[in-house]
Amino acid sequence: MFKTIREEIRGIMARDPAARSTLEVVTCYPGFHAITLHRLSSRLWRHEWRILARMVSHIGRFLTGIEIHPGARIGKRLFIDHGMGVVIGETAEIGDDVTLYHDVTLGGVAPSVDSDSQRNQKRHPTLEDCVIVGSGANVLGPIKVGKGARVGANAVVTKNVPAGATVVGIPGRALVRPAATEEDAFAPYGTPLGDIPDPIVRAMDGLMDQVTTLKVRIDELEKQLGAVQGTGTLDYDSRDERVSPMGEK
């Protein structure tokens, strides 16, 4: 138990430059308090002390503003930074060295309207090792967020995320990014630093390229048609009305 607590403290100090001492983490970090209480409530839950487990979880929510269902499975060194408003559902699974920021929701999407059958189904997401989820993000449903992936602030993710991908926007769209190095492996708030290649802008650029190509092709066809008809290149007046070479409509 104490070994696990020491690992949690080391994980927080490694990822938060504001953490200056072990004492500061133990006394002033609600994320640390929430995880410690969750370890207790989770153990009670696994031993079928369900009501007592929920009571401990509720106390943790009251003290920290972080709601973690005792049924959630959480790996080592989870860092919940700031923490207020974080919600982690019953069937959520979180790997090692994951970072969550405030207002993050790991929520469930019920696959059935039958409440009894829902209790026996996976409803919440799985976050693999080293995932970063930015503030205000919603990761919903029994999906998987691959190892080392980043979910940008306020993103809404409802589909699987490949390992190492960065997801931004509503709905979440994956951006291509180079493999992380030792220097840039950690991204605060899960948001890429520097220029963000907006997928919508990228799609619009592709459409504009196609429009330009089609316009050039149409001009070529009109020239060929004019040559066949012996009228030369077709002209257009200011109202885009076709005119003859003599200027008559």
Provide the pLDDT confidence category of residue 193 given band limits of 50, 70 and 90: low
Determine the structural domain holding residue 108 and report its residue range: 2-196
Residues 164 and 230 in one domain: no
Q: Which two tokens stand for residue 97?
A: 């060295």
Structural domain contains residue 62: yes
User: pLDDT tens, 225-237?
Assistant: 888 777 555 555 5
Q: In this model, does residue 169 exceed pLDDT 70?
A: yes
Residues 229 and 189 in one domain: no
User: pLDDT tens, 38-87?
Assistant: 999 999 999 999 999 999 999 999 999 999 999 999 999 999 998 899 99
Provide the pLDDT confidence category of residue 117 given band limits of 50, 70 and 90: low
Structural domain contains residue 76: yes
Burial of 6 per CB tally in 10 Å (0-12, 13-18, 19+): exposed
Q: Say which CATH number the domain at 55 has.
A: 2.160.10.10
- In this prediction the pTM is 0.69
Residues 165 and 233 in one domain: no
Q: Which of 196, 217, 234 is the last residue of a domain?
A: 196
Tell me, what's the pLDDT at 201? 66
Burial of 85 per CB tally in 10 Å (0-12, 13-18, 19+): middle
Residues 112 and 25 in one domain: yes
Residues 192 and 238 in one domain: no
Which of 58-67, 116-125, 191-200, 215-224: highest mean pLDDT?
58-67
171 upstream amide cis, omega within 30 of 0: yes
Residues 235 and 178 in one domain: no
